[in-house]
Every structure is written in C-alpha cells, then in structure tokens.
Amino acid sequence: MPELPEVEVTRLGLADRLRGARVQSVHVGSPLRWPLGVQPRTLRDLAIGDLSRRGKYLWMPLQGGTRSGGLLWHLGMSGSLRLHERDAPPRGRHDHFELVSSAGVLRLTDPRRFGAVLWARALDADPARKLLAGLGAEPFDASFDAKALHAACRGRRTSIKAALLAGDIVVGAGNIYACEALFRAGIDPRLRCHRLSLARCERLLQALRDVLSEAVALGGSTLRDFRNSQGSPGEFQINARVYGRAGLPCPSCGGAVRRVVQAQRSTFFCPRCQAR
C-alpha cells in the first residue's frame, strides 16, 4: 500500500499540472529506501515531460539542453505525493523529498520511509531497468488475456492470492484488490494456481480489471496514510464487499465473511460464494 490504483490516481492528478514545468530546486531530506543517484543541483532547469506509470512506479521524464533522463518515484508503504501550487506550508517531519518547479512544490510525504526517488537516464537504463524487470503484465494491457493468465498459473502450486500479491504475473493486485477481485470471481483465495481453469481465469481477470477501475474512479483506498495529489483520501475501502468485514454478512449470500492469514497478510472471503 499504496497499490496501482493509488499510484494511477496520483499520476492523473499530477500529469497535466506538471507537464512542461521547469525544475527550480530539489531538496532531499531523511534517507529513503534508495539514494537519488544524482546531485540535486544537476536537475535545475530541466523540463518535466508526460508522467507515466509502470506497476506501482511513476516515471517523470526530465530534459534540458544536453541532459535527459528522469525520476522514478515509488510511494513505498505509506507515501503520497502532493503538489502545492501556491503558498506551500513549511516542510513537515515526514516530507522527505521536495521538487520545486514553476508549477508548484511537489512533496513526497512518507512516514515509514520505504518510498524512493531515483534518477535514471531512461526507463530501460539502470537503476530503473533493474527495478522494473521483474514486474508482471499491466492488468489493462490488451495483449494480456485469460489465456496468458492461465498459462502463467499452470506451473505454480502457490495459492492464487499469493500469486496475485507477488506481482510477477500481473501487477496491481494489492491485498485489498486481490481479496475483492477473488470474491467477485467466486474463487477461494487458497486455491492453488495450477488448479485454475481457463474459465476461472477469464472471470478473475475481468474481476480484477473491474475492481481496479472502480478503485481509480473512487480515488484509491485510504486505510491510514494515502492522500491524492490534492490532499484528499481515497474512498474505495468504504465500498469493499469482503475486505475488512470479517464476521459481517456477505453482501451476496448473507453468510459470514471469514478472515484467514496467508503469508502474514489478512485475507477476507466468503466460504459459500468462493469455490475452492
């Protein structure tokens, strides 16, 4: 957390506002997960291009004169990005990276400091290349279909919930979204990957796309720290059908939602509605 919807919500909120702006200064506070990899002063006067997303990473292209590259942003477990277009308040104790531009002050707020901002010459150059190399398919990529999901699952004996969280088959299914997608698809989260039929993979991929689309439309999920680029929390968690509802009635059958622990993560599901 934040997962794909929160990162996409952040990108959508920043892309138009930052496009074409020029970097005026960069402030690096307490150390984040990885070092910036470049002297902050060398980023001055570079122009910001179109923000893009890969998995849970944001890519901010920067170019000016003979220098080009970009910043790869990761929000970690508790981070959020906010753009203050005017009258930015003083930096707080959890504001660990600040990029001042002609469009305003962009701050990474990250209480747990698992986030990162890294310079790379390109997305296919290290360190960006190395960090992105193990990511699975984008869930909305037209070339990733149920057959591709079925083929990727066929050789695995881990649970389908664990496979979704791993992110090397398909990205974006964090804990909340994996629970919700499996519920909508009627699949028990403990089911072993190799037992998934093609029909179940079709239902699961569609459910995952539906859940992620709804989450983006609702501003993502805020359980504790996440805020969008304007400082507002997400609302998807309010509409969750099983996540966080252990012991409460299933919205489909009325039976009790159950909670189990898988790989040290809470999993919520309906034993009646989700076949194993």
Evaluate whether residue 77 is within a structural domain: yes
Determine the pLDDT at residue 224: 66
Determine the pLDDT at residue 87: 85
CA distance 43 to 50: 17
Residue positions annotated with a catalytic role: 2-3, 56, 265
Evaluate whether residue 141 is within a structural domain: no
Determine the pLDDT at residue 66: 82
Domain boundary among 107, 132, 157: 132
Indicate whether 8 and 128 sit together in one domain: yes
The CATH number linked to 23 is: 3.20.190.10
Domain boundary among 85, 102, 132: 132
Indicate whether 18 and 124 sit together in one domain: yes
Q: CA-CA distances (angstroms) from residue 174 to 161, 177, 221?
A: 10, 5, 11
Indicate whether 37 and 111 sit together in one domain: yes
Q: Check residue 247 and give left, alpha or beta (phi > 0: left; psi -120 to 50: alpha).
A: left
Indicate whether 179 and 74 sit together in one domain: no
Indicate whether 27 and 96 sit together in one domain: yes
Determine the pLDDT at residue 137: 97
User: Count of domains in the chain?
Assistant: 2
**14 close to 51: Cβ distance less than 8 angstroms:** yes
Indicate whether 205 and 180 sit together in one domain: yes
Per-residue pLDDT of the chain (276 residues; tens, 9 = 90+): 689 999 999 999 999 999 999 999 999 999 999 999 999 999 999 999 999 999 999 999 999 988 899 999 999 988 999 999 988 899 999 999 999 999 999 999 999 899 999 999 999 999 999 999 999 999 999 999 999 999 999 989 999 999 999 999 999 889 999 999 999 999 999 999 999 999 999 999 999 999 999 999 999 887 767 887 787 878 888 999 999 999 999 999 999 999 999 988 999 999 999 988
Determine the pLDDT at residue 24: 97
Q: CA-CA distances (angstroms) from residue 46 to 43, 92, 104, 113, 156?
A: 6, 26, 14, 26, 46
Which structural domain range is residue 70 located in? 4-132
Indicate whether 9 and 104 sit together in one domain: yes
Evaluate whether residue 276 is within a structural domain: no
Domain boundary among 98, 132, 166: 132
* Residue 169 neighbours by CB under 8 Å, 6+ apart: 136, 137, 149, 152, 153, 163
**185 close to 203: Cβ distance less than 8 angstroms:** yes
The CATH number linked to 195 is: 1.10.8.50
Can you give the pTM of this predicted structure?
A: 0.93
Determine the pLDDT at residue 155: 87
CA distance 12 to 261: 34
Evaluate whether residue 138 is within a structural domain: no
Evaluate whether residue 264 is within a structural domain: yes
Question: H or E stretch including 122?
Answer: none
